[in-house]
Chains A and B, each alone.
Chain A
Amino acid sequence: MSEATRVEPHTPSPCDAALDYVYGELTGEALTAFEAHMTSCARCQAEVASFGRVRSVVRAALPALDVPTASQPMGSLHTQLLAAAAQRKPPAKVLSFPSRFRKFVTQPVFAMAATFLLVAGTVTTLWKKGALTTAKQESAAPSTPAVAATPKETPAPIVALPEATTVQPELAKNQPAKAVAEPPVLATEKQHEGPQKHYKADKDDSLAALQPKLEGGRAMAPPKPAKPALARKGAVVGGDNLADMVLEGNGTSSSTASPSTGEQRYRARLEPAKEESGGKDRTVDKWQARTDAPTTVVKPPPAAPAPPPTVAEAEKAEKKKAEAPGYAGGMLNRDGVQSQSRGAKSSEPMPAQQQMASRPQGSSLGAGGGEAPAAPRHAAADQRGGVAAAPMAKPAAPQPDAANLDGKAAKREETAAAADRNVADLRKKAMDLAHQGRCNEADELFKKLEHQYPMYRRNMTETMAVTHCRTQTGQFDAAQYEIDNLKTTKTQNNEVITREQDYLNNERARRVPAMPQSATPPSAPTATPAPAPMESPSHNMSPPAPMRAGKKAKKAAPAAASDAYSN
């Protein structure tokens, strides 16, 4: 092509506008300037003339042709074209942002901010749902194998328990860093709460899904709900906690030779279940039993299990224990109140080790006399330090780990201690009133105690004091009612009851003849060595005494029944 070889004019020349002039594209000053230039430029004049001739010939040679018939408005091609145009679907209307907003939205900064918000929202949502917690637990997973390996270090009898429960104390000892990271709690609390966390993580799993984990040595928790109060109590008194279960399953003869009522009833319930299960793994059965009765101590069968006692045997043992000399049946001290509280939550009797722990120090049975099992006495110590069969002089003494109680546990402890102090004060005051012969006031205080502390029951000393007071003040019916209760429940030595009954009879015989003579209180009870009665004789002779006795009878029956288990 020739135009490719020619050099394009770089500097605009007036002659370059000749083409524009021919085609009429020059306007204004450009047109004027070119016309002025063309008058003096022969070349431009010749070029314009030649181009004009060519154009005229071309116009004559290339007339505008009409389109063919097919493309006419009624033609086939035209129809097809319009049909194709009609088939096109208009686009869906899209709301268009204002140009200013669109400019803002399309900024990279806006995209980055939107991305950040999206990621942050996602992370927050996952965090709230707990999905990230799972990741956190998975990150701590390397510590789990070490825990799983610990069962080999535990004593052999522990195998009878769920492995998770036996492993936890070792876990607490072998992981000091974790103990620092978590709030300081008692070892028993860790024992309860640690598995509980695991259980929460896997709470959706079925029992069958959890069983392999238990058997595999993983620290799995039983489905028993966490009860911090119980855990604390277990730590203090060495009663119902997992460490006790471990120790009692540790082949101690006392545990097997002298089972407590709780053990007996547990076995009575567990053995049929085992038989029904076809002798499969006992761990699972026990675990299921714990599921059914969360407050019941899951006591594993010993290595050489004794024949399971029946319920009748358990009740017989209970009666023998109640008849033992010095047995303070029904005399519930502070610990007894707590034990009774637990017993009230569940229909199951309180386990023997807890009964032992709940007895006041210095009790006649505290030194291992009678049929009380000795193993639970060192349960708490063994649980913490793993020292087996260490004698525990003070079972109710606070544990060294109590210093590590968190705020909540400490608060609970303080509340319980304050309640105990109040109970002790009221009891002391009531006893003083009874000794002074102010039986009504003493009764009121005892009622107040029972009202404010529902699990409180008068112990034997208090009952005897009230009975003696009522006898002295002439409330013979009320005194007789108390003595009858003592005889019914058989919670007191027959000799003591007989002595009190004789005293009542003597007083009644001495005073009854004089009663009809005066309806007013005796002005000078010279014959009575006891202090003057504070109550009016009319009150003594009035029917309210049997009514009161009836009211008390309603309370006494369940109280006596519960005392039989709680002592």
Chain B
Amino acid sequence: MATDLREQMREILAPFQGRQVVLIPALQAVQEKFGYLPEAAMEEIGRLAGLSANVVYGVASFYAQFRMTPIGKKHVAVCQGTACHVRGGARILEAIERAIGIKAGETSPDLQYSLETVACIGACALAPTLRINEDTHGKLTTNEVEQLFPKTAKQEEISNS
């Protein structure tokens, strides 16, 4: 498995060989494939760029985009930018946290959901907004949150008991 992972990585990284702009696009390419940056990625990208794995990790950890842990099937990014803030974005986030049972920055143990906040997805006229994977949803209300994140049967049971 481990060698398999590295082989896949080398395949992804091959096109970057010899290019001037390498490090961040390479990290992005690996994350796009795996959904996160496995530890081996630091070494493989380091080898490609002629850097130590530490330096690569140092760069990756600086940027909010990069994750070091696997991500849920539904990646929910709730906008907390200015326009969303003044139109109640914080309450939308809370409602989602309650609906899917994890806090911002967390991934559910069953890897169904990852929840994070972003500081503007640029759809401010539709505030408050969120994105689930590639789909943007705007003009949200707590009612719509309930529709987007229906309670599972199990949660229903708990809240009724």
**Does chain A bind chain B?**
no
**Which residue numbers of A lie inside 8 Å of B, CB to CB?**
none
**Which residue numbers of B lie inside 8 Å of A, CB to CB?**
none
